[in-house]
Amino acid sequence: MEIDPFIFRLSIFILSIFIGYYVVWSVTPSLHTPLMSVTNAISSVIIVGAIIAGLAGNDESVFNTSSIFGFLAISLAAINIFGGFLVTQRMLAMYKKKKRDKK
Amino acid sequence: MISSNLSAIFYLISGILFILALRGLSSPETSRQGNFFGILGMIIAITVTFLSLGNFSSGFIFVIIFLLIGGLVGAFIAYKIPMTAMPELVAGFHSLVGLAAVFVAISAFLNPEAFNLGYPGNIKLGSLIEMSIGAAVGAITFSGSVIAFLKLQGIMSGAPITFKGQHPLNALILISIIVLIYLLCSTQSSNLFWMLLAISFLIGFLLIIPIGGADMPVVISMLNSYSGWAAAGIGFTLENTALIITGALVGSSGAILSYIMCKGMNRSFFNVILGGFGATEQSNTSQNKEQRPVKSGNADDAAFLMKNASSVIIVPGYGMAVAQAQHALREMVDTLKKNDIKVSYAIHPVAGRMPGHMNVLLAEANVPYDEVFELEEINNDFANADVAFVIGANDVTNPVAKTDPQSPIYGMPVLDVEKCKSVLFVKRSLSPGYAGIDNDLFYKENTLMLFADAKKMTEDITKNL
């Protein structure tokens, strides 16, 4: 009997939870704030779905109820992607080591 | 147009890049590279989506326009936001992820053909279940994060809002969400879908209002986790590997952070979620407060104590963030270091309003991260230090957590500040902290209270050094 493709996706999902578990425990506590902002940014990969929805309209009517929700979702996710990555970048640039020559 | 197999492989690559982005955060040296991997993964995911759809008609232009609008707003916010406002920002961003998930679910429900999910009124059962779970969790994330944002921003009172019958009501709503999903799947009725969204928004709101201001680290982490599960739910609907992997990563990341935060307060997750903590304790501790003598001093006394010390440990807390005192603090420390005084920073896991909040603020003020220590790393050093400088922290230093089993914070890990030869406590008044309990440290023989605004006091001390 053939395996339902859902099961494969479920496997990816469960294995990713385990990867997430081990990877996140190894994150140093001083970087927990950047961790939150970067997870914010990457979870906005949901923009993929928004783009599909936005492009679903046909040539005569770009806008229908479904695609409008898609376009709105694109903007929301884009705020997160740009905002999330840039603010993470800004924070990480501030983490500096002690200057050895000072001692 | 590229084949769906090829695009699936690219989505996998972008998922792997996201894993590497989190992996990079294991140390500050690799973290910037990690962020770059994350950006790369996002670019791959978006490009592949365009290529696999192969639709570059007029709709494509609008997609780019909306993308740029959002991108500009996001970039603007990212450059303007002060570091002290990070908790609000993250809460706000969570709400956007939640709302985006809801919108994607709505458009998939209205136009399932575009997503290969069947036809309106006859959506594949599996997809419909995944879609409605994604939409419900997204809606909870949205309204919950909005409340968290309002509380952090101070627009809404940080005090827990509780009313009679709150828990039964929440339980009832949660059960009705499950019932609605079941009915929705059997009837495919769009009215039920809207109803599901409406009550999910409502429950997100109701779940967060009873939780008080200082429990925000847990709430933010929890909403972080929810936003991940919402993304994963949509990922299943869209059969998209990148989204499933990311959702799982973010979901478990938020869950782990919530766990760490709860452990930092020695409270169970459910205890935090059910809320109302600290509201009842205030009354019985306030009577004996005035009777106990307190030693208070000025900037001159503090400067004298520190000048004669050989090692100083700084304990920052939320009050430092409120007073924006991190730069003034760093200047004080620079002066101390010139006098050959050893200075380190001690950070409690729940200091501030979100995980790692204090570390970011200190980093912003150019404090090298290898001078900043976590509770376990530094707690034994207090006994050998001459001065502990507590700035804006309170409950996390309260020795009562170790001595009094009656206390609501008993068992919470605290910084052993009282073991220092002398303690300087910068605070605006003697008022109890968030937990509503008096801090014994105020009345200790070796404690000198410095009643002032944290920033002003720190500047004055620097002048006197």
Task: Determine the pLDDT at residue B94.
Answer: 94
- The predicted-structure confidence for A47-74, as pLDDT tens digits, reads as follows 999 999 888 866 667 788 888 999 999 9
**By the CB < 8 Å criterion, does B31 face chain A?**
yes
Chain B residues lying within 8 Å of A23, measured CB to CB = 19, 22-23, 249
* B326 close to B364: Cβ distance less than 8 angstroms: yes
Residues 6-45 of A with CB under 8 A from B: 6, 9, 12-14, 16-17, 19-21, 23-45
**Where is B331: in which H helix or E strand?**
helix B326-338
Selected for mutation to probe chain B from A3, A16, A67 (highest B CB count within 10 Å) is A16
- The predicted-structure confidence for B93-146, as pLDDT tens digits, reads as follows 999 999 999 999 999 999 888 888 888 888 888 899 999 999 999 999 999 999
- Which residue is closest to B257 within chain A, CA to CA? A32
> Residue A2: which residues within 8 A CB-CB, separation 6 or more?
none
Q: Please indicate whether, in this complex, the C-beta atoms of B360 and A45 are within 8 angstroms of each other.
A: no
Confirm whether B440 is a catalytic residue: no
Say how many CB pairs under 8 Å bridge A and B: 380
Report CA-CA distances (Å) from B371 to A32, B262, B318.
17, 25, 19
CA distance A2 to chain B (A): 17
Mean pLDDT of chain B: 87
Residues 127-156 of B with CB under 8 A from A: none
Report CA-CA distances (Å) from B87 to A32, A83, B328.
12, 14, 22
Residues 42-61 of A with CB under 8 A from B: 42-57, 59
CA angle, residues B55, A51, B187, in degrees to nearest 5: 110
Task: Determine the pLDDT at residue B435.
Answer: 65
CA distance B452 to chain A (A): 28
**By the CB < 8 Å criterion, does B372 face chain A?**
yes
- DSSP, residue by residue, A30-70: GGHHHHHHHHHHHHGGGHHHHHHHHTTS-SS-S--HHHHHH
Q: Rounded to whole angstroms, how far apart are CA atoms B374 and A29?
A: 8
- Judged against a pLDDT cut of 90, whether residue A78 lies above it is answered with yes
Task: Determine the pLDDT at residue B41.
Answer: 96
Chain B residues lying within 8 Å of A36, measured CB to CB = 90, 220-221, 224, 253-254, 257, 354-356
Residues 277-296 of B with CB under 8 A from A: none
Task: Determine the pLDDT at residue B279.
Answer: 44
Q: Please indicate whether, in this complex, the C-beta atoms of A75 and B67 are within 8 angstroms of each other.
A: yes
Residue B333 CB-density burial (10 A; 0-12 exposed, 13-18 middle, 19+ buried): buried
Query: Between B34, B63, B245, which is nearest A12 by CB?
Result: B245
- Which residue is closest to B352 within chain A, CA to CA? A33
**By the CB < 8 Å criterion, does B90 face chain A?**
yes
Q: Rounded to whole angstroms, how far apart are CA atoms B19 and B25?
A: 10
- The predicted-structure confidence for B390-448, as pLDDT tens digits, reads as follows 998 888 888 888 888 877 778 888 999 888 888 998 888 777 766 667 788 888 888 88
Residues 63-92 of A with CB under 8 A from B: 63-67, 69-92
CA distance B114 to chain A (A): 6
Percent of chain B at pLDDT > 70 equals 95
Task: Determine the pLDDT at residue B362.
Answer: 92
B33's tokens: 């590279």
User: Which is the catalytic residue, given B395, B416, B438, B460?
Assistant: B395
Q: Please indicate whether, in this complex, the C-beta atoms of A82 and B247 are within 8 angstroms of each other.
A: no
Q: Please indicate whether, in this complex, the C-beta atoms of B356 and A73 are within 8 angstroms of each other.
A: no
Q: Please indicate whether, in this complex, the C-beta atoms of A30 and B34 are within 8 angstroms of each other.
A: no
What ipTM does this complex have? 0.93
- DSSP, residue by residue, B356-409: THHHHHHHHTT--GGGEEEHHHHGGGGGG-SEEEEES--GGG-THHHH-TTSTT
Task: Determine the pLDDT at residue B270.
Answer: 78
Percent of chain A at pLDDT > 70 equals 90
B346: three-class secondary structure by DSSP: strand
B233: three-class secondary structure by DSSP: helix
Query: Between A42, A78, A92, which is nearest B74 by CB?
Result: A78
Residue B239 CB-density burial (10 A; 0-12 exposed, 13-18 middle, 19+ buried): buried
Q: Please indicate whether, in this complex, the C-beta atoms of A74 and B63 are within 8 angstroms of each other.
A: yes
Looking at residues B347-368, what average pLDDT do you find?
Answer: 89
